[in-house]
Structure 1
Amino acid sequence: MTRLAPAPPARRYSAPARDQDLRDPARDRDPERTCRRWPVAAVPAAVMLALGTWGITRQGSMWRDEAATWQVSHRSLAEILRLLHEVDLVHGLYYVIVHALFAVFGDSLWTLRLPSVLAMTAAAALTARLGARLAGPRAGLAAGLAFALLPSVQQYAQEGRPYALVVAGAALATRLLVTALDRPGRARWAGYAATVLITAHLNWLSLLVLPAHAATVLLVRPGRRLLRQWTLAALAALAGAAPLIAASRSQAFQVSWIRPLQWPTVLGVGLLVGVGCLCAAVARRPGRRGSSVVPLALPLLAVPQLALVLASLVQPIYLPRYVLYTSVALALLIGAAVDTAVRAAGARWRRVRPWVLVAGAGVCAFVALLPVERQLRQPQSRVDDVLAAADRVARVADPGDAVLFIPAARRDTALVSPGKFSGLRDLVLTQRPAPSGTLKGYEASPRGIREAMLAVPRIVVVSDAPAVASRTAPERERTKTAVLREYFEPLSDAEVNGRRVTVYGRR
């Protein structure tokens, strides 16, 4: 029987194949053993669901990445497919999912973000069950609660982007890996390969779970047969994702804005992995069942993070959200460490039930993180607010005014809230986004932009606030700025949560 655990040279340890096998004799004498298994997953899932739905609309705000999801998901399937030939191929499956949800449930901020909430809820339950399987029910409960309380998890649980679904997919794939190693079977390995493949179609950087899982398989030394089965499953997933990876390479310009690695980022990754190692050291104390978590969770935490950092030395690509699924591993290690600490505390405070200590630790963590959690639910927590900028345009624009977007990508303000731009003429747009298969449409040449601007007396300009504006601009954007500076003067100017709305009049 193959089980997950570290493997010393002289003796092969193995993780239990069934939850009840996790209990050592000391645990069997534990009066808490009668606790049912379902709360171990249900409690963290309920906490995650409550936190995910708390302030889900962020006071009616939406930032630029969500605006892309919103406007693309309102297109027809044919228009979505046309777009994917040009940009955002890596998000194609997610756009189709949200398109279907909008068609069934209507478009709203709830419909946009609830899939992410539910995905993180499922990931919290899967994390708890993994922890319970490998280190016991209390470790599982602590891991699930730790996952739900992580600020990064709460942030992306409330975003209309695919990253929460990727986390759930990685968590499920990891759970299926453990199951397949313990109870091998073609159906289990097929399920594992299918889960990895589907998750890759939500974001193919999720395939970094495979080298992490490879490290786990090597650490537990399952034997040649299971090693071969895992290898075949991994290769099947890679083969299925290969066309997507190859096709998306032509759209690499979409990540050209990512900055090269800075020392704060590298130190942050090192600190994260260091915390995981510290938790692993606590969990691996002699006689602790938490040691079974380490060969699974530590590679899952470290390998994707470090691999993306190394890849960024060649081409800048590191963003924490691309490896958000490593939060599952961090939570597992925290859960095992908390269980070890609770057992040590229980030896001193015999009248306090260990489950109470776990719950108390969760409440203390929630209270400590409450300022961060409240801030994440404010409109100012994101780079900008598309809806607030559209509201500002509706207040300051007069019928017949022209509207100009600097850069052109800020046209998402009008695409998300077309009613706010009623009566305004998009001054330099020559082909609309949906028919052109683009996110922002096509604009006139620099000469055409200049002529169009000089032909109108008033222009409402939607742009980025200086704090978030790009320092480089193509010729079209430089032309817009130059004409405004030379021939127009500002009549009103306001910054609204990362965006700027300025009304210009001719001098």
Structure 2
Amino acid sequence: MESPPPDRKHPEAAIRRITPWRALPPLTAVLLGLWGLPRGAGGGNGGSMWRDESTTWQVAHRPLGGLWELLGQVDAVHGLYYLLMHGVFGLWDGDPSDGGLWALRLPSVAGTALAAAGVAAVAHRLAGERAALIAGTAYAALPPVQAYAQEGRSYALVAAAVAWATYLMLRERWTAYAVVLLLGCWLHEFAVLALPAHAFAARRARGWRWAASAVLAGLLPLAVVSARQASAQLGWLGRPSWQDWVAYGVLVAAVALLARGAGDRDLVRVAVPLALLPPGLLMTVSLVHPWYVDRYVLYALAGLAVLAGARAGAGTGARWLPWLLAGALLVPFAGWSVWLRTPEARKDDALAVAAAARERARPGDAVLFMPSRRREWLLSSPGAYGSLRDVALSRTPAESRTLHGTELPPDAVRAAVLASPRVIALLDPPDQPLDRHPAEAAKREALEQAFDRCSVTPVHGARVAVYAWRGMCG
């Protein structure tokens, strides 16, 4: 009979291995992730959900056959994440106003905890226990990391995969490295930009070249499908703004300042490319093909955190500089963290839009989404708009295997609007450009032709307008 492992004979040995650098970073991530998780107004009990999360909600609730049909048309880049969330909702489900937001966001909390642990493991490998403790905790406390720890999208899980792939690269565990990084790429394919960053640290390792080739080969099917969908999927993006370039410049300056005091070449070869190359490459590509959004490369912050931990934990040179910077950032970061837990921290609030529409609706009223892609606001829960009739809709999102459904031809839309005595129009904020699609123009023309605008109510990221036939607002 085999003897039990040492840890089973002596449980205290396993407990002793739970050192602060292993425990504190993921614990910090969990506590910050659970703090204000529903994002209620003013810290209240009510919650909020923005349009991307609303899309996650409705897609992950589709039957597996319907989900597969959708991914053949659009959003294949998020397919593995939707499948994961389908399983989560199968185990724990609920209305967004009653527990459902926790099921939606807890996987991201767990992903951030795993990422913080991975950052600590990388820093421990490169710079020791003190650096690991500081780096992992600092990563969990970064406001952008906190934001995506509380969002029902894949980015926190992608960051976890990249952080642990980096650690496995340092350990030269090439099979595990390829599996973990490929998993991250299938959660979001821009995780592949970690490969050129890793190349600086592993360029002499033959095993890495084989592992990188395996990742690229395994990602190829998703890349082929998503490339066909890219124009429709990312058509809303523009080229990086001057604010994006300024933010990248600040990142470069911070990395240069921290790397200057890092004497270990391995540390610099790992952390600096990880922090700078993924966002830099994606922004450069986006000058031709606009694909850049900062959350797509959230994992690059792991490189910054490792540098900060190594510099603060080194105890050499101007040891006071990292602590001075941390103290200077404490108050603005604390305010930023509080703001992240309000509905205003996201572009809109689908639950608030639905509530405002229900309050103003009467039996038999029509609802118009202007533009049609704002049907995202409807998708947060079944029956979110009560008895309102979606008069422009031809086929629902599930029936049409799309994200937002398909609408009637422009003439049919116009006729349906004109036949409705009262219309609840859900509009973009006034500073947004008008959609020039013929069906959208038909909606506006019909309202201008035969309706009075009775009221307009601003809701975060939207407007809820009530229209009635001429002279019938009273």
Asked whether the two chains share a fold, i.e. TM above 0.5, the reply is yes
2:306 aligned with 1:328:
no
Task: Quickly say closer, same or farther: Cα 1:273–1:363, change in 2 above 3 A.
Answer: closer
Query: Which residue pairs with 2:338 in the alignment?
Result: 374
| Secondary structure of residue in 1 paired with 2:261 | helix
Shift of 1:456: 1.2
**In 2: Cα distance, 1:338 partner to 1:361 partner:** 10
Task: Tell me what 2:107 maps to.
Answer: 115
With structure 1 as the length reference, what TM-score do the two structures score?
A: 0.84
Please identify, of 35-44 and 409-418, the stretch whose mean Cα deviation from structure 2 is larger.
35-44
What CA distance in whole angstroms lies between the structure 1 residues aligned with 2:309 and 2:18?
Answer: 16
Quote how far apart the aligned CAs of 1:368 are.
4.3
SS at the partner of 2:292? Answer: coil
The residue number in structure 1 matching 2:290 is 316
> 1 CA distance for matches of 2:18 and 2:405?
54
CA distance in 1, matches of 2:368, 2:219: 40
Out of 438, 449, 469, the residue aligned to residue 486 of structure 1 is 449
Q: 1:337 aligns with which of 299, 305, 311?
A: 311
User: CA shift at 1:360, angstroms?
Assistant: 11
CA RMSD of the aligned region, Å?
2.0
Residue 41, structure 1, aligned to residue 5, structure 2: no
Distance in 2, matches of 1:379 and 1:264, equals 23
Relative to structure 1, the CA distance from residue 274 to residue 345 in structure 2 (aligned partners, 3 Å threshold; closer, same or farther) is closer
Residue 421 of structure 1 aligns to a residue in which SS? coil
Matches for 1:184-223 after TM superposition, within 5 Å: 188-218=173-203
User: CA–CA distance in 1 between the matches of 2:323 and 2:251?
Assistant: 24
1:103-252 correspondence runs (5 A): 103-107=90-94, 108-180=100-172, 188-218=173-203, 227-252=205-230
Structure 1 residue 340 displacement after superposition: 3.2
Per-residue deviation, 1:292: 3.6
Partner SS, residue 369 of structure 2: strand
Q: Secondary structure at the match of 1:72?
A: helix
C-alpha deviations, 1:105-128, integer Å up to 9, x for none? 113000100100110011111111
Q: Give the residue type in structure 2 aligned to 1:69.
A: T
1:452 shift after superposition: 0.6
The runs of 4+ residues in structure 1 deviating greater than 6 Å are: 357-364
1:342/1:363 CA distance change after superposition, 3 Å? farther
Q: Which residue of 1 aligns with 2:12?
A: none
> What does residue 261 of structure 1 align with?
240
Alignment partner of 1:66 is 2:47? no
What whole-Å deviation, never above 9, does each CA across 1:463-494 have from its counterpart, x for those lacking one? 21224x34443111111112112221111210
Instruction: State the shift of 1:40 in Å.
Output: 0.3
Alignment of 1:492-507 (within 5 A): 492-507=455-470
- Whether contact under 8 Å (1:40, 1:140) holds in the other structure is yes
C-alpha distance in structure 1 between counterparts of 2:65 and 2:427, whole Å = 30
Counterpart pick for 2:398 among 417, 425, 434: 434
- Once residues 455 and 29 of structure 2 are traced to their aligned partners in structure 1, the CA distance between those partners, rounded to angstroms, is 43
1:302 aligns with 2:273: no
Structure 1 residue 366: deviation in Å?
4.6
**Identical-residue share of aligned pairs (%):** 43
- Give 1:418 deviation, angstroms: 3.2
Aligned letter for 2:466?
V
Give secondary structure in 2 for the equivalent of 1:419: coil
Q: Provide the residue aligned with 2:9 in structure 1.
A: none
Q: 2 CA distance for matches of 1:341 and 1:147?
A: 20
d(CA) in 2 for partners of 1:199, 1:65: 19
Going from structure 1 to structure 2, the CA distance change for 1:504 and 1:434 (only over 3 Å counts) comes to same
> In the alignment, which of 455, 477, 480 is matched to residue 440 of structure 2?
477
Superposed counterparts of 1:398-409, under 5 Å: 398-409=362-373
Shift in CA distance, 56/465, structure 1 to aligned 2, threshold 3 Å: same
5 Å-filtered alignment, 1:67-82, equals 67-82=54-69
Alignment-derived partner of residue 385 in structure 2: 421
Shift of 1:364: 7.5
Deviation at 1:262, TM superposition (A): 2.5
Contact 2:312 2:319 in 1 (8 A): no
Say whether the 8 Å CA contact 2:261–2:317 is kept in structure 1. Answer: no
Equivalent residue in structure 2 for 1:51, among 18, 21, 32: 32
Cα deviations across residues 254-309 of structure 1 (Å, max 9, x unaligned)?
1111111233322321220221111010222xxxxx55421110111111122112
Change (3 A) 1:258 1:482: same
Structure 1 residues 353-375: Cα deviation after superposition (integer angstroms, max 9, x where no partner): xxxx9999978855441110010
Counterpart CA distance in 1 for 2:284 and 2:378 is 39
Aligned partners of 1:280 and 1:291 also within 8 Å = no
State the AA in 2 paired with 1:42. Answer: A
The reply on whether 1:272 has 2:272 as its aligned counterpart is no
Give the equivalent residue in structure 1 for 2:3: none
Cα distance in 1 between the residues matched to 2:345 and 2:206: 47
Q: Distance in 2 between matches of 1:135 and 1:369?
A: 26
Task: Give, in whole Å, the separation in 2 of the partners of 1:41 and 1:466.
Answer: 49
Distance in structure 2 (CA, Å) of the matches to 1:323 and 1:331: 14
**3-state SS of paired residue (2:205):** helix
| More moved, 108-117 vs 491-500 | 491-500
